[in-house]
């Protein structure tokens, strides 16, 4: 009988519980102004018991979509994205993978000038750092605005992982900040 109760269909905005009783998991969010957990998508409500070694004894309430959907970028997750547009203070990118899994929906990310690297932020030239078509590994900083996630490449293991030169060849990294075209020998930032 308990299992029957758990497979309840919910819709976005539906109350799933109080923050004092449950934690918000995937497909749910906590509204801090009224301490209530709501569904953020249409699907089935599931309650996940707390881990045995967890100090927080509240179960996690999740909503899993009735249609199978791929991974969704979350703050703190590492993504692979393709740069689509480079502007003076930011670059836009289409997120292709979250961790090792490819996404099924279109997610857009923005790499702002201050999030390109950790040092000498004021000297970053976006047009030298990225070109349309570059593949970058980035960290999701936040959900950003309604159109895009904010991404960062300001760690050693992040940044451009694949780029194509003007001659059309796949560039080879030669240092932490430079890549070289194997055909022409031209070095780019």
66 — pLDDT class (breaks 50, 70, 90): low
State the Cα–Cα distance between residues 173 and 113, nearest whole angstrom: 22
Stated as kind and residue range, the H or E segment containing 112 is strand 101-112
State the Cα–Cα distance between residues 70 and 116, nearest whole angstrom: 27
- Whether the model clears a pTM of 0.75, i.e. scores above it, the answer is no
Question: What CATH fold (topology level) applies to the domain 77-188?
Answer: OB fold (Dihydrolipoamide Acetyltransferase, E2P) (2.40.50)
Q: Which of 160, 152, 23 lies closest to 77, judged by CA?
A: 152
What pLDDT, on a 0 to 100 scale, did the predictor assign at position 135? 92
The CATH code that applies to domain 9-65 is 2.40.50.100
Question: Does the CA dihedral 136-139-142-143 come out positive or negative?
Answer: positive
pLDDT digits (tens, 9 = 90+) for 7-65: 788 888 889 999 999 998 888 888 888 999 988 888 889 898 988 888 888 999 988 87
What pLDDT, on a 0 to 100 scale, did the predictor assign at position 22? 92
Whether the domain at 9-65 and the domain at 77-188 fall into the same CATH topology: yes
Q: What is the residue extent of each domain of the chain?
A: 9-65, 77-188
Classify residue 133 as left (phi > 0), alpha (psi -120 to 50) or beta.
Answer: left
């Amino acid at each position: 009988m308990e299992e029957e109760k758990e497979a309840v269909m919910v819709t976005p905005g539906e109350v799933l519980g109080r923050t004092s009783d449950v934690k918000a998991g995937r497909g749910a969010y906590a509204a801090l102004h009224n301490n209530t957990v709501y569904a953020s998508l249409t699907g089935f409500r599931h309650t996940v018991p707390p881990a045995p070694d967890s100090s927080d004894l509240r179960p996690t309430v999740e909503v899993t979509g009735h249609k199978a959907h791929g991974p969704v970028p979350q703050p703190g997750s590492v993504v692979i994205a393709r740069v689509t547009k480079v502007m003076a203070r930011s670059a836009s990118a289409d997120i292709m993978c979250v961790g090792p899994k490819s996404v099924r929906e279109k997610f857009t990310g923005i790499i702002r000038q201050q999030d390109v690297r950790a040092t000498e932020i004021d000297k970053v030239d976006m047009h030298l750092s990225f070109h349309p078509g570059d593949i970058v590994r980035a960290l999701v900083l936040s959900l950003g605005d309604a159109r895009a996630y904010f991404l960062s490449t300001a760690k050693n293991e992040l940044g451009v992982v694949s780029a194509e030169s003007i001659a059309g060849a796949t560039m080879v990294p030669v240092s932490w900040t430079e890549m070289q075209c194997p055909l022409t020998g031209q070095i780019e930032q």
